């Protein structure tokens, strides 16, 4: 097999239209030949969240331009590319289909292999774009749709240790921003305004903090934010205090649950060199990074955080997952269809819905 594999990656699972050309280098990390992301913030701003039909339409309008740009910026031709990878799930079917179909078409007419990628695997392997990283590692995946602790044993080999039993962490940030009228996109705004407030002003709940292992829950916290937000109305100072208290409560929850997850990781892998990777959109949050770095010092483990541009949705991570799968001959080909649900650990119990016993 050729030494330096090059892939075109395509990502349209939610509200970012993205394409990237990535080449593996001799250090085992990636040369980012191009990484183009077009965000749809303006389309969804007035609705305060992603509207699937609008997102799909924007993908259709932009995708050809974005792919072309990524090829031009990479300064290589389609001929020099070894394969095409596009996100096949999980995500919004109407959105996924856009990137998936154009990826398959390019693969068919250029006679290149095609690989449909699990978006979560893209996030899980994303730190490898810049770091030479050994398996296994503990992954805290925090995004708009998912919140999980996983052991990343290898490409295509994941064990879920814990997950949210209700809202995803990004969702909790976005809803908090909406309740406090902090604007869209929510997560970055909550982080920004929380710096202006007193983090100890409101006492907010930390659901299931002392039970259920490293499973997480944010619904009760969200309800408490809603209750308090109704009382403070237009008082900006109190709004910032509530944002700061929310961020502080999230930090406390992640601190305690990560401690449990680290112990599970040690017990299961018998590995002494513990590495914690945080990936996904919420991993861009600096306060969360600092908080977990503090824990890392106390418990003597290493933290690896992807660069901010690789935390939110991007196609570099999809191309990278494509290269990794291609090299291991884990190809699924042109028949793969879009999937709204696609867990990394298929054996993990489904943790949502009524009747859940903790």
Q: Please report, as ranges, the residues that interact with ligand KG4 according to CB under 6 A.
A: 14, 143-145, 170, 173-174, 185-188, 191, 280-282, 284-285, 312-313
82 binds Zn ion (CB under 5 A): no
Q: Name which of Zn ion, ligand KG4, none residue 186 binds, using a CB cut-off of 5 to 8 Å depending on partner kind.
A: ligand KG4
Which CA distances in Å does 140 have to 114, 117, 215, 348?
29, 19, 12, 16
Q: In angstroms, rounded to a whole number, what is the distance separating the alpha carbons of residues 84 and 114?
A: 5
Q: Which stretch binds Zn ion (CB under 5 A): 57-65, 135-143, 168-176, 236-244?
A: 135-143
Q: Does 143 bind Zn ion (CB under 5 A)?
A: yes
CA–CA separation, 324 and 331 (whole Å):
10
- The span of 136-144, 216-224, 242-250, 321-329 binding Zn ion (CB under 5 A) equals 136-144
- Whichever of 312 and 322 has its CB closer to ligand KG4, that residue is 312
- Tokens describing residue 326: 């291609």
User: Which C-beta is closer to ligand KG4: that of 246 or that of 326?
Assistant: 246
- State the number of binding residues for Zn ion (CB under 5 A): 2
Q: Which of 25, 117, 152 is nearest to 322 (CA)?
A: 117
95 binds, among Zn ion, ligand KG4, none (CB under 5 to 8 A by kind): none
Distance between CA atoms of residues 253 and 173, nearest Å: 14
What are residue 86's DSSP bridge partners? 10, 116
Cβ 253 vs Cβ 260: under 8 Å:
no
Q: Site for Zn ion (CB under 5 A): which residue of 24, 191, 228, 313?
A: 313
**C-beta closer to ligand KG4: residue 169 or 351:** 169
Partner from Zn ion, ligand KG4, none binding residue 166, C-beta < 5-8 Å depending on class: none
Task: Give the strands of the sheet with 302-304, arranged side by side.
Answer: 157-163, 147-154, 137-142, 275-279, 302-304
**Interface ranges with Zn ion (CB under 5 A):** 143, 313
């Amino acid at each position: 097999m050729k030494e330096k594999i090059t892939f075109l990656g395509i990502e349209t699972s939610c509200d970012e239209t993205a394409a990237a050309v990535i080449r593996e280098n001799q250090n085992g990390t990636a040369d980012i030949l191009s990484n183009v992301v077009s965000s749809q913030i303006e389309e969804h701003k007035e609705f305060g969240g992603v509207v699937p039909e609008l997102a799909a339409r924007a993908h259709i309008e932009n995708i050809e331009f974005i792919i072309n740009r990524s090829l031009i910026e990479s300064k290589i031709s389609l001929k020099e590319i070894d394969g095409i990878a596009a996100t096949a799930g999980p995500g919004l079917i109407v959105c996924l289909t856009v990137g998936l179909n154009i990826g398959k078409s390019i693969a068919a007419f250029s006679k290149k292999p095609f690989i449909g990628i699990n978006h979560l695997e893209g996030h899980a392997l994303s730190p490898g774009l810049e770091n030479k990283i050994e398996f296994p590692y503990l992954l805290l995946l925090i995004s708009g749709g998912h919140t999980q602790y996983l052991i990343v044993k290898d490409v295509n080999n994941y064990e879920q240790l814990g997950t949210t039993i209700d809202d995803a962490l990004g969702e909790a940030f976005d809803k908090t921003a909406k309740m406090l009228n902090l604007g869209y996109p929510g997560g970055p705004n909550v982080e920004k305004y929380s710096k202006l407030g007193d983090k100890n002003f409101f006492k907010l709940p930390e659901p299931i903090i002392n039970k259920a292992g490293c499973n997480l829950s944010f619904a009760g916290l969200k309800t408490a934010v809603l209750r308090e937000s109704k009382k403070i109305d237009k008082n900006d100072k109190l709004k910032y205090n509530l944002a700061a208290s929310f961020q502080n409560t999230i930090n406390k929850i992640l601190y305690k649950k990560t401690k449990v997850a680290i112990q599970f990781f040690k017990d299961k892998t018998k590995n002494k060199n513990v590495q914690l990777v945080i990936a996904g959109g919420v991993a861009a949050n600096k306060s969360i990074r600092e908080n977990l770095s503090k824990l890392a010092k106390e418990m003597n483990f290493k933290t690896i955080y992807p660069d901010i541009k690789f935390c939110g949705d991007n196609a570099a991570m999809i191309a990278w997952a494509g290269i990794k799968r291609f090299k291991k001959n884990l190809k699924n080909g042109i028949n793969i269809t879009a999937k709204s649900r696609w867990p990394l650990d298929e054996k993990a119990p489904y943790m949502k819905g009524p009747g859940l016993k903790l």
